[in-house]
Structure 1
Amino acid sequence: MVYTGKNPITESHGQEQYFLEVMMWINMCVCLPLTILIIYCVSYMMQRSQVPVIYYTNLLLSNLIRICIMIVWIIRVESSMSGMIYHLCVMVGLYFKVCIALERCFFITLPLLDCLRRTRSSVLVCVLVWAFCIVSVPLAIVLDELGHLIIYAALPGLLFMFCLARTFRALPAATSVPTQEKRRCLGILILLFFKYFVLIIPIISIFNERLFFHINWIFFLLCPFVDLVLCLFMRQGRIDRLLACLCSSV
């Protein structure tokens, strides 16, 4: 996760600049209103559903801030603060995906352990995630310790793998959980798992600056769309039908 402190549009030229502008305009015109709409819908659902969706809401809020930063870049504002906030929100979104994965994993493997599902506990977790990222990410950038950002981004990979493997093994024994809910939890974990390892590729490509620029921004600018699709799937349960074949033996 390379930090240059500069506007990525003004740092690019030719087709690269055109591609970034088009992607950012799509995010602003399509993803921005959809994100606001889904945040409203998810907030309303929190009052009616037993499953806490506060982690989903914070994930969407981090995406909303990222899109606002894109507006700053589009109008050619040069500010190192905008890049810092953007990378901060990327890290916040990553850790809220970890919270979602852990909550789904515990729902299957330890249904009596509902610490991540209680409103008070989930609010505390959200505060801790924001506090950790607000302190650690800018500090690493200011001190030019970008290696720390790579470590912060790589650690969740172990949790994603653990949650997916542990949940898959525990599905047959989770007789108290409806089959439809099992499929939904497994589908969410699979999507989060693959999305994480798609996002981690740009960080690994730090050693090739040219390759890093292309892959990094392609996936970073597509992430808000993927998060919207994920939230819609979780709300409507479409993952169940897409992944029913994977769970037919459960």
Structure 2
Amino acid sequence: MITWVLPVDWILPWTRMISHYTYIYCLVASIGFMVCIALERYLVIACPLWYRFRQTIKISVLVCVVVWAFPAVIFCRLIAARNPATISGILLLLPLPLFIFFLGGTLKALSASISVHSDEKRRIVGMLVLVLLIYTLLFLPTIILSLARGNSGIDRYKLNNLSLTFVQFSPLADLFLYIFMRKGTIDKLLASVCCCRMDSDDISSPV
């Protein structure tokens, strides 16, 4: 991203183009890893025994390789497409129903799950909600813009800058997602929020 702010006469013309496509490639891979995180958290609650026996280092490495290779497959398909912006927007819109399904399925399976500790349950739900918010607030505006580029009444320049600003917050959002994946301070925060909610319910309920 440093090449985006440097003067044009400081860098070679192809350098900025390579950095631009590399940035897009990493953004697509980031969405893929968000789907993997949401799926993994869903399996912990919905299928704990199956997940415990299938969680191996080889499978994790294989998933990472597939996620990093998937954007290359998408780019190769888009090169031969007539309307690459619309096709890419549709493909990047597919994770949204998956995120909603994983969150809804996790909430539904929480009551029946007895092998997962309550602290772990709160962390999993918080992580799934955070993944959905990151995708909806940061990535979804850009995806919608790519689907609406055929509308001549849209001010493309302003919307492009606005959506790019949202996307550039994704590394900061990944930092918060990493904090949710770690045990420690976030558990106390989630526990305090739940305790405050329970206390307010006790106060409002009649004796």
Normalising by structure 1, report the TM-score: 0.65
1:128 and 2:66 correspond: yes
Shift of 1:154: 0.5
> Which structure 2 residue ranges, 5 or more long, are not aligned?
149-153, 199-207
Cα 1:72–1:98 change in 2 (3 A) is: same
Change beyond 3 A, Cα 1:246–1:228: same
Q: Which residue of 2 aligns with 1:182?
A: 121
- Secondary structure of the residue aligned to 1:173 is coil
Q: Distance in 2 between matches of 1:116 and 1:213?
A: 42
Larger gyration radius, structure 1 or structure 2: 2
SS where residue 50 of structure 2 aligns? coil
Q: CA, structure 1 residues 159+246, in 2 after alignment: closer, same or farther (shift >3 Å)? A: farther
- Residue 6 of structure 2: which of 75, 87, 90 is its match? 75
CA distance in 1: counterparts of 2:5 and 2:158, whole angstroms: 23
Question: Could you tell me which amino acid in structure 1 is paired with residue 119 of structure 2?
Answer: Q
The equivalent position to 1:232 in structure 2, one of 165, 172, 179, is: 179
Q: Distance in 1 between matches of 2:185 and 2:122?
A: 10
Aligned length: 180
Amino acid at match of 1:188: M
Alignment of 1:186-197 (within 5 A): 186-197=125-136
Aligned 1:137-148 pairs, distance under 5 A:
137-141=75-79, 143=81, 145-148=84-87
In the alignment, is residue 91 of structure 1 matched against residue 91 of structure 2?
Answer: no
Structure 1 gap ranges (5+): 1-69
Task: Measure, in 1, the Cα distance between the counterparts of 2:64 and 2:18.
Answer: 23
Match of 2:108 among 159, 169, 175: 169
**Structure 1, residues 73-96: CA drift from partner, whole Å, max 9, x if none?**
233443333222211111000010
Give the secondary structure class of the aligned counterpart of 1:112.
Answer: helix
Paired letter, 1:147: T
CA contact (8 A) 1:92 1:133 kept: yes
Residue 153 of structure 1 pairs with residue 92 of structure 2: yes
Give the TM-score normalised by structure 2.
0.77
Kindly state the Cα deviation for residue 246 of structure 1 after the two structures are TM-superposed.
5.6
